[in-house]
Amino acid sequence: GKNTRRKEKEPMEGEASRTKTVCVTGAGGFVGSWLVKRLLSTGEYTVHVTVRDLGDRKTGHLRALEGAGERLRLFKADVLDYASVAYAVSGCGGVFHVASSVPADKPQNPEVEVLAPAVRGSQNVLKACHQAKVGRVVVVSSAAAVAMNPGFPRDAVLDEDAWSDEDHCRTAGMWYALSKTLAEREALAHAEKTGLDVVTVCPPLVLGPLLQRVANTSSLVLINLLKGDRDTVEDKARNAVDVRDLADAFVLAYETPEASGRYICGAYRKKLSEMAGIVESFCPDLARPVKFVEGEDDRMMSSKKLQALGWKFRAVEECLRDSVESYKAAGLLE
């Protein structure tokens, strides 16, 4: 009889398959891991990931992701080592530059420990992307590159034209903010100079469930609040975003042809006391007597530009509930 076997989809040739091969730098971290999960979940992307350590402790949670067996390729690379980065991005149509160290509170030598790595890492990734003729690079920056500027009026709602003041960051010892500002400026200048297509995304505090059993710096803000082992907590209003919505934003920034420039990616703004109250409403056992003291609020900022691309985000309650469930499961609230 007739051949009824379903004709398998032809593998895409050349350019088409290249746009579906992407690289994620710093994929072992909280944000990178969720982005890898999101890219694999489409079933369309082959994902190269760079990690500094291929050991199971750092990559087990990536290898366990659905689709990883077929479409995940791990590369041992450090963004400070150009050759290792170039090897990982070759053949990729898109690159997500997530790798970035969140420094110790008081670095001994900020120039060496924080600033040089951020800027040089950024330069290496962009140079490698330019050489590999990558179609678009999505650079993960931070709201810390937007808002640290005492010149802005307190009631201003900041948009993508706002930049942190480098001198102020230096004087105030805000090394993370300074490193993100310098690296993002470097990325956009590189785009201007070489014609490389670069889009940057600036998230504030990133919360949401963990994919690994270690707490990253941003999650500790909420974990420390809930453990209640601090005598006093500065009750600041914090801009925040769920890590899953942030991963969606990266993919949107990559896949939407008209995306360009910077995108602020914040979903909601809540005082820490409000966040604690929301958590207590569904987890009464986590109620802790916390003494809140006045703190300096995060500046208001707008994600309208990103929402115009079609970005949607989940409610704060869902973000906090899922975060707390994952902290409990990982034994981080004991």
268-271 and 237-242: which strand pairing?
antiparallel
Contact 107, 178 (CB under 8 A): no
Q: At what angle do helices 116-131 and 82-89 cross, to 10 degrees?
A: 40
Answer yes or no: are the C-beta atoms of 51 and 74 closer than 8 Å.
yes
Give 68's Cβ-side CA count (13 Å radius): 16
Known catalytic residue: 312?
Answer: no
Q: Is the distance from CB of 254 to CB of 198 less than 8 angstroms? A: no
Active-site hit among 20, 37, 180, 270: 180
DSSP string across 138-161: EEE--GGGTS--TTS-TT-EE-TT
In the numeric block, which tokens belong to residue 21? 């091969």
Please report, for residues 25, 51, 74, 80, 125, the alpha-carbon distance to residue 121 in angstroms, rounded to integers and kept in the order given: 10, 13, 19, 5, 6
Q: What share of the chain is helix, strand, coil (3-state, %, to 5)?
A: 45, 20, 40
- 24 vs 7: CA distance, rounded Å: 33
DSSP code at position 115: I
Give the active site residues. 180
